[in-house]
Amino acid sequence: MAEAVERTPAEWQAYLERAPFHRWLGLRFAAVEPGRVEIVCPFREELVSDPDVPYLHGGLIATLLDVAGDYAVATRIGRGVPTVDMRVDYLRAAGKEDLRVVGTVAKLGRSLSVADAECRGADGKTIALGRILYSTR
């Protein structure tokens, strides 16, 4: 297995923000450790799907799961990796709230790696689960 990568929290945050989409979403690391990251996504009105209920867009949640898994792998190999495929399970709807997503490495391989991700609402309850395959060649 690869060694954990040395970066300061500020360096990880800067790396996350290289992506214009992450900047627009306002993503920020709440924790970074070898093989595990925690990312917060603050609520913004543009992310709403159904304005009547209201609830946040499932595409946003898929995005967060993918990002968390990706950076969990990045803590082990030093760089973001292309996503090969992803499964998302939506367990409950997200309201107008900040979301927190945790990514962990399930298997670090030479050419392919698997991460798990969990998205939680403001009350800590699980909103969605992700299992994601990344290319790590």
44-53 core/surface letters (b: 16 or more CB in 10 A; e: else): eeebbeeeee
C-beta of 6 vs 45, nearer to a second copy: 45
73: nearest Cα among 81, 65, 62: 81
C-beta of 5 vs 106, nearer to a second copy: 106
Helices (H) and strands (E) in the chain, counts: 3, 8
The nearest distance, CB 33 to a second copy, in angstroms, is 21
Q: Which residues bind a second copy (CB under 8 A)?
A: 18-21, 23-24, 45-51, 57-60, 62-64, 66-67, 80, 82-91, 93, 106-107, 109, 111-112, 114, 126, 129, 131, 133, 135, 137
C-beta of 32 vs 115, nearer to a second copy: 115
